Amino acid sequence: MSKYVSTSATFEPRNESGVSTPGRFDQRPLLVFWEMTKACDLACRHCRASAQREPAADELTLDEGRSLIDELASLGSPRPILILTGGDCLKRRDLFLLLDYAASQRVPVALAPSVTPLLNVGMMNALREHGVHSISLSLDGALAATHDGVRGVANHFAATCDALASLKRLGFRVQVNTTVMRQNVDELAAIAALLQRLGVDVWEVFFVVTTGRASEALALTPPEIRDVCELLVEAARYGMTVRTVEAPYFRRTVREAAERGENQWSSPRADQWRSDLRTRLGPATHSLRAPSVATRDGKGVIFVSSRGEVYASGFLPLSLGNVRSTPLMTIYREHHLLRQIRAGEFRGGCASCASVDLCGGSRARAFATFGDPLGVDPACPYQADASRMLNAGLAFPARRA
């Protein structure tokens, strides 16, 4: 995920080795995601938020949003980055008031809006004037038919590419979020080439967790996930930082690639994808750019819903409390589940894995599959039985005390 230093904070960690130290994220997160609203004019097939057309009556108010910003400001420097998302954060009528307040409190902010008519050049200029320098947009295909089919809006692919070009022209640091799924996995090399040509700074690839509108039919198998991770390592050699969400084993793939100097995993599909990328972009132009701070759901990352509910991430729908009654940092520091997550107190294969700190598996996927946020991540491509278990819906034996 991401990182920061001022209101010009980027979505890319700075000066991070990718290696965590014990207790590093016990007191404060790196990233605080605030789902400002569930209102959104899109109806994407894989949407975590199950967004709706109009704002809900119980969304956090302007004053409650300011209180959340105050709490982050009180942590001192470096403050966590506040990522405003949704739904569509541009649907909040008080967005600019909150941006100005965050700037006054020196809390770095980045935006993750939807591509709708609201995100026009006038809006982009206004966001710059109110201190926003980093924006992430979603692009889920290299072809209009693929992306538009996922987003449920005709001509949305063209609008997204135009928005990305405009953001770069106006000087924004731009991140693209792509949810990899069965419908677009064979287009990943073409997406990477498109983003490189557009000058995108960061490519963050999301792996499906079956929550919200996302269904199991969208998800990949563990061997396919490993193939994708190998392709992403290759894509990270073309000047674009590459990261993943809900696939922390990518860090292990990156570490192995850095130690070897080349990709080791070989399958016909991975080889085909790598060849496709090289055909489109030529030989690699940069050293590997995939810095990965060892975060995971609840470790360095925390999520606040539109109504103030706190979750380890937006993909792990297990409420830990509400900022309306308990300060966010109290929940983050003291909730027993988050303490277990940060300590790596998992069950099954994740508990005994040598990469438990670097990776730790997707807590959201463990919960979605087995109802246990401390259970094994069944999609891990490094677990020998992962494919069998994912297909059979079986869990690893629970670790005994």
Residue 397 has pLDDT above 60, yes or no: no
| Lowest-confidence pick of 158-162, 371-375, 395-399 | 395-399
Under the banding of pLDDT at 50, 70 and 90, the label for residue 210 is confident
Residue 379 has pLDDT above 60, yes or no: yes
Q: What is the pLDDT of residues 64-104, one digit of tens each?
A: 999 999 999 999 999 999 999 999 999 999 999 999 999 99
Name the nearest CA neighbour of 377 among 238, 229, 285, 248: 248
Residue 401 has pLDDT above 50, yes or no: no
Angle between helices 222-235 and 250-260 (to 10 degrees): 50
Q: Is the dihedral of CA 84, 356, 209, 18 positive or negative?
A: positive
Please tell me the distance from the alpha carbon of residue 79 to that of residue 57, in angstroms, as a whole number.
30
DSSP letter assigned to residue 319: -
Q: What is the pLDDT of residues 117-145, one digit of tens each?
A: 999 999 999 999 999 999 999 999 999 99
**How long, in residues, is the chain?**
401
What's the token pair of residue 399?
């670790």
Please tell me the distance from the alpha carbon of residue 203 to that of residue 388, in angstroms, as a whole number.
30
Q: What is the pLDDT of residues 238-251, one digit of tens each?
A: 999 999 999 999 99
Q: Residue 287 corresponds to which amino acid?
A: S
Please tell me the distance from the alpha carbon of residue 399 to that of residue 384, in angstroms, as a whole number.
18
Name the strand (E) or helix (H) holding 400: none
Name the strand (E) or helix (H) holding 198: helix 188-198
Please tell me the distance from the alpha carbon of residue 321 to that of residue 326, in angstroms, as a whole number.
7
Name the nearest CA neighbour of 114 among 138, 98, 130: 138
Domains in the chain, CATH or no CATH each? 31-281 (3.20.20.70)
Query: With pLDDT > 90 as the criterion, what percentage of the chain qualifies?
Result: 72
Give yes or no for a contact between 317 and 382, defined as CB atoms under 8 angstroms apart: no
Q: What is the pLDDT of residues 158-183, one digit of tens each?
A: 999 999 999 999 999 999 999 999 99
